[in-house]
Amino acid sequence: MGVRFQNRPYNWEFSGAVQHELFPRVSVNFAYFRRIYGNFSVTDNTLVGAQDYTSYCVTEPADARLPGGGSERICGLQDLNPNKVGQLDRVTTFASNFGTQYEHWNGFDFTMNARLAKLLLQGGVSTGRTFEDSCEVAANVPESNEVAQPPFATGNSRGFVNSTLFCRTQSPFLTQLKLLGAYTLPYGIQLSGTFQSVPGPEVTALGTFANAQVAPSLGRNLSSATTVNVAMVEPKTQYGERLNQVDFRFAKKFTVNRSKLQATVDLYNALNGNAVLVQSNNYGATAGATAGSAWLRPQAILPARIVKFSVQANF
């Protein structure tokens, strides 16, 4: 059986780079990258169409941590009409059958490399942003806006529902800075260190809205659940605190008879930073005294300062 071209998801990557030597053993490099993704797939329920869904809005709770302080309307949510509930004939096909879908990434690197007599310096800046647009597909296949229930959802709660307001997103330029340096001190002691600064975790907020909050806009109760989970923060627009980490190493080599020893002292997270690595993006119930109480709660932070001593022997 032959294999047809263009049947699988693909991505094209284009890149170009320019390198220039500023001085002997000192050079800089600039590079541009572009990735284009295609052949997206979508699961279509052939027994229902866009006309079988009713659009509605929900109102965010008042919360200073939400965009604009909360209380904003999120519209473009879709609920299947009751007379179509349970009618299923799912087919997975190309999203292009229902419209155009895009995903692009553009990135830039600027790096330098210096190899001098007693000094080594390497590193630079890397930045890039992502653009996604699935609005045409979302309009023609409303069920594509809903994903499976997250682990914290109950059996009477619908899965995560995206608003068509968020079908077109573009991240800011997410910039990373990484540097490495090594210098040979008197008596053969080598001091080396690294510095990295990277964006914090993306901030999202998955809020749970009850029938009573949905019905005034929908004009009826939800057709197949008592609650619905809705994204309240536009994807790729908010990020947590940047992670800034500095590490050091002191090393000294010794020769004992025919053996070579290297003693090292490593200092990780020298500044004892405590940036959040993983956080809770589940806002939970959007009504009541405890609404949003667990949102943005840290689940993992940068490990505390660590000092490690070691000896390596070669014989």
For residues 27 and 20, the answer to whether their CB atoms sit within 8 Å is: yes
- pLDDT digit string (tens) for 225-259? 889 999 999 999 999 999 999 999 999 988 888 78
Q: Say what the pLDDT of residue 18 is.
A: 97
Average pLDDT over residues 97-117: 95
Please give the share of the chain, as a percent, with pLDDT higher than 70: 94
Predicted confidence (pLDDT) at residue 150 exceeds the cutoff of 60: no
Which ranges of 4-152 does DSSP label H, i.e. alpha helix?
135-140
Beta partners for residue 175, in sequence order: 127
| Confidence bin at 57 (pLDDT 50/70/90) | very high
* Strands 282-285 and 206-210, bridge-based pairing: parallel
- pLDDT digit string (tens) for 10-41? 999 999 999 999 999 999 999 999 999 999 99
Return the domain boundaries, the chain: 10-314
- pLDDT digit string (tens) for 192-225? 999 999 999 999 999 999 999 999 999 999 998 8
User: What's the CA angle centered on 116, arms 271 and 22, to 5 degrees?
Assistant: 100
Predicted confidence (pLDDT) at residue 2 exceeds the cutoff of 80: no
Predicted confidence (pLDDT) at residue 109 exceeds the cutoff of 60: yes
Name the helix (H) or strand (E) containing 215: helix 211-218
| Confidence bin at 1 (pLDDT 50/70/90) | very low
Pick from 207, 208, 209: nearest CA to 217: 209
Distances (CA, A) of 111 to 25, 31, 40, 192: 14, 9, 34, 19
Helices first, then strands: H and E counts in the chain: 2, 20
* 3-class DSSP assignment, residue 228: strand
- Alpha carbon distance 218, 226 (integer Å): 13
Average pLDDT over residues 138-166: 67
In a 10 Å sphere around its CB, with 0-12 CB exposed, 13-18 middle and 19+ buried, how is residue 164 labelled? middle
